[in-house]
Amino acid sequence: MPDHSPALAHQFDDIEQQHESSSLGMWIFLATEVMFFGGMFLGYAVYRAMYPTAFAEASRHLDIWLGGINTAVLLCSSLTMALAVHAAQLGARRTVAIFLVATIILASVFLGIKAFEYYHKYEEHLIPGAVFEFPGENANHAQLFFSFYFAMTGMHALHMVIGIGVMLIMIALALRGRFSPEYYFPVEMTGLYWHFVDIVWVFLFPLLYLVDRS
């Protein structure tokens, strides 16, 4: 059964095989990402078990409102991303672009709020290192908390920036009419990646912001 789709890469027999391969490849990549973040989650879990009071105290220095708003913003961006994938499946190229732009805007709002939070921590001398200041006797252990806070949210933000870059490429490709109902899976893969980034935050938010907030 010859397949003459222009998107078919030479090593594949048909577009279906290509689609399945991309999809499997993406899921494996996401598995590596889980292991990558897993290392930090493990470290966090170990230290939180070792120093529960210091972690609770340090966590109260985070702004639960800004974190909560960001959670909502990011979840909405997952919705617009899902709609972009759906539009791509239907071959509606302008709609794809519109929803991807919406996703990028929401992502930028998230990063803006994050940057504001970082700046706030800087003013409060909560950046780990020589300048770190923390009231009370748990300063050292609180510094561990903030080390993980910056490492984890920083790595998460970096993933978002990469995601925005990928979405810009997808917008360009969509506007040039590269996608069709047969060949839409680059958008689908971008969507998978974005949902992963979203899910990481869903775990980060309670672990970092909601420690002992009763």
Partner 1 sequence: MSAKNYLNVSYGARSWLLTKDHKRIALLYLASITLFFFLGGAFAVLIRLELLTPQGDLVQAETYNKLFTMHGVIMVFFFLIPSIPAVLGNFLVPMMIGARDMAFPRLNLLSWYVYTIGGILSLVAVVSGGVDTGWTFYTPYSSTYSNTAVMVTAVGIFITGFSSILTGLNFIVTIHKMRAPGLTWFRLPLFIWSNYATSLIMVLGTPVIAITVLLVGIERFFGVGIFDPKLGGDPLLFQHLFWFYSHPAVYIMILPGMGVVSELVTCFSRKRIFGYPFIAFASLAIAVLGFLVWAHHMFVSGMSPYAGMIFSFLSFMVAVPSAVKVFNWTATLYKGSISYDAPMLYAMGFIGLFTLGGLTGLFLATIAVDVHVHDTYFIVAHFHYIMVGGTVMAYLGGIHFWWPKISGRLYPEGWARFAALVVFVGFNLTFFPQFVVGYLGMPRRYHAYPAEFQVLNVMSTAGASILAVGYLLPMVYFVWSMRYGAKASSNPWDATGLEWQTPSPPPTENFEQTPEVTWEAYDYPSKDKEKEPQVA
Select from 70, 71, 72, 101 the least CA-distant residue to 84: 101
Is 39 a binder of partner 1 (CB under 8 A)? yes
125 exposure class (CB count in 10 Å sphere: 0-12, 13-18, 19+)? exposed
H helices of 51-177, where?
Answer: 52-59, 64-90, 93-123, 139-175
Number of residues that bind partner 1 (CB under 8 A): 39
Is 1 a binder of partner 1 (CB under 8 A)? no
Is 59 a binder of partner 1 (CB under 8 A)? no
Instruction: Determine which residue in the list 5, 14, 24, 68 makes contact with partner 1, applying CB under 8 A.
Output: 24
CA–CA distance, 191 with 69 (Å, rounded to integer):
22
Select from 100, 90, 48 the least CA-distant residue to 206: 48
Q: Which listed range, 13-21, 64-72, 113-121, 177-185, lies at the site for partner 1 (CB under 8 A)? A: 13-21
CA–CA distance, 38 with 46 (Å, rounded to integer):
12
Instruction: Determine which residue in the list 7, 47, 86, 195 makes contact with partner 1, applying CB under 8 A.
Output: 47
Smallest distance from the beta carbon of 72 to partner 1, in angstroms? 28
Give the footprint of partner 1 on this chain (CB under 8 A).
9-13, 17, 20-21, 24-25, 28-29, 31-33, 35-40, 42-43, 46-47, 50-51, 128-130, 140-141, 143-144, 146-148, 150-151
